[in-house]
Amino acid sequence: METQRKSLFEGWGLQSTDRPLVISGPCSAESEEQILDIAKQLKEQNIEIFRAGIWKPRTRPNSFEGVGSVGLEWLKLAKQEYGVKITTEVANVKHVYEALRAGVDILWIGARTSVNPFAIQEIADALKGVDIPVMVKNPINPDVDLWQGAIERIAGAGIDKIAAIHRGFSSFDKTKYRNIPKWQLPIELRRRMPEIPMICDPSHIAGRRDLIEKVSQKSLDLNYDGLMIECHNNPDEAWSDAKQQVSPAQLKEILDNLVLREVVINDASIQDLEELRAQIDAHDKKLFSLLESRMAVAEKIGEFKKAHNITVLQPERWQAILDKTIEEGKKHNLSSEFVTKMFTAIHQESINKQTKLMRK
Ligand code: PEP
Ligand code: MN
C-alpha cells in the first residue's frame, strides 16, 4: 500500500512523509487558551500543521470577522509550545507582511481571494523573494482557469512550494453539501499541473461534520495528497463554521477510519483492469449504436411533425418521458439526477435534429 507521500511536499520542512498530509485546527482563532488547547491535542495525534483563521472573510458584515493580528501571537505560542508548523489565511498585502513577521510557516489564500486576479497579483508581489509554502484554495466559482491562474501568479513571484486546496464551489442549488465538490475540476487542475499537490478541505465542502469522513475518503480514492480538516475543542460553540468542525477525538476517529488505496497498480492487476476497460469500451459502442437508432426514430417523428405542421417541442410529452425514465432508472439502480441529465441531453439532441428538419 502506498502510504508514503511522494516528494511533492519537499522543502516544506515536514518530519513525516505519511500520506495524506493532515492540516488541522479551528476555523477561527478565538482565544489563546482555545488555540493552545487544540494545538496540544492535535500534536498528540502527530498532526504537524496547525491551521487557524485570524482574518475571516464573512459573507455578510456584522458577523465575527476574526480576532485579527492578536491571534498571530497565539499561533506563535502554539508553535513554540508544541513544535507545530502554523498556517493562516492571507487576503491582502498587510496580512502577508504581518504573517511573515510573526513567523507563520505556511500561508493559504482563501476561495474569496483566489477569484480576484488583482488581489492575487498584489499578494504575489508581496511574496517576491520570500521562501514560504503557499496553498491556494479553489475560487468559489467553478473556473479551473482562474484557479490555475492564481497558482501561476504565485509561482511567478518565485514561490516554488505551492499546493492547491479543493474546498468545493458555491452554488445557488440546494444540495447536501455547503460547497459542491465538482470533482472533475480538481482532476483537471491536476492533469494540467501534476507537480502541484492536491489537498482536500472536506470541512468547507461538507459544511456538516457527519459528511467529512465520506468526502475525505473520496478524495483519497482520487489520490489526493493531503487533507485540511477544521477541528475545535468545543465545536458546537465555535464562533464560525460550528456545524462543520469536529472535536480532536472525532478527528482521530475520521482519520483512523480512512482507507488508503494503492496508487501504483501491479502487473497482474493491470491485466484485470485492462480487461474491465475493454468491457466498458464495448458497452460504450453499444450505447452509441442505440443512440443512433433512437435519433433516427426522432427524425422520423420530426418528418411527421413537419408534415402535420405541429411544433417540435411538445412539453407534456417531454414531461411524460422524464417521469417515465426516472421511474425506469430507479429499477436499474440509476439516480434520478443522472437520468434527468442524460435524458435532458438526449431529448435536446432530438429536438435539435427535428428543428433542423423544419428549416429544410
Ligand atoms: C477557511 O478555511 O476557514 C476558509 C474561510 O475557507 P474558504 O476560503 O475555503 O471559504
Ligand atoms: Mn471555516
Are domains 21-257 and 268-358 of this chain identical in fold? no
How far, in Å, from the CA of 84 to the mean position of ligand 2? 20
Per the structure block, which three cell numbers stand in for 94? 498587510
- Give me the pLDDT at residue 1, please: 42
- Give me the pLDDT at residue 272, please: 79
What is the tens place of the pLDDT at every residue in 69-110?
Answer: 999 999 999 999 999 999 999 999 999 999 999 999 999 999
- Give me the pLDDT at residue 152, please: 98
| 67 CB-near residues (< 8 Å, 6+ apart) | 28, 29, 30, 31, 54
Question: CATH topology for 268-358?
Answer: Chorismate Mutase Domain, subunit A (1.20.59)
Ligand 1 atom at minimum distance from 138 CA: 9
pLDDT tens, per residue, the chain with 360 residues: 455 555 899 999 999 888 899 999 999 999 999 999 999 999 999 999 999 999 998 888 888 999 999 999 999 999 999 999 999 999 999 999 999 999 999 999 999 999 999 999 999 999 999 999 999 999 999 999 999 999 999 999 999 999 999 999 999 888 999 999 999 999 999 999 999 999 999 999 999 999 999 999 999 999 999 999 999 999 999 999 999 999 999 999 999 999 998 767 777 777 778 888 888 988 998 999 999 999 999 999 989 988 998 888 888 888 888 899 999 999 999 999 999 999 999 999 988 888 888 887
Q: Are 138 and 170 in contact (CB under 8 A)?
A: no
Pocket, ligand 1, Cβ cutoff 6 A: 27, 53, 57, 110-112, 137, 167, 204
Check: CATH 3.20.20.70 for 21-257?
A: yes
Q: Are 108 and 87 in contact (CB under 8 A)?
A: yes
> Which ligand number lies closest to the CA of residue 235?
2
> Could you tell me the residue ranges of all domains in the chain?
21-257, 268-358
Residue with cell 501534476: 194
> Which of 201, 239, 246 best tests ligand 1's pocket when mutated (most atoms within 8 Å of CB)?
201
Average model confidence (pLDDT) for the chain?
A: 93
How far, in Å, from the CA of 109 to the mean position of ligand 1? 9
DSSP secondary structure code for residue 28 in this structure: B
Parallel/antiparallel/unpaired status of strands 198-200 and 226-230: parallel
Q: Are 163 and 136 in contact (CB under 8 A)?
A: yes
- Give me the pLDDT at residue 104, please: 98
124-144 CB burial, b ≥16 within 10 A, e <16: bebbeeeebbbbbbbbbebeb
> Which of 56, 89, 109, 116 best tests ligand 1's pocket when mutated (most atoms within 8 Å of CB)?
89
How far, in Å, from the CA of 52 to the mean position of ligand 2? 9
Residue 87, strand partner residues: 51, 106
Residue with cell 489565511: 89
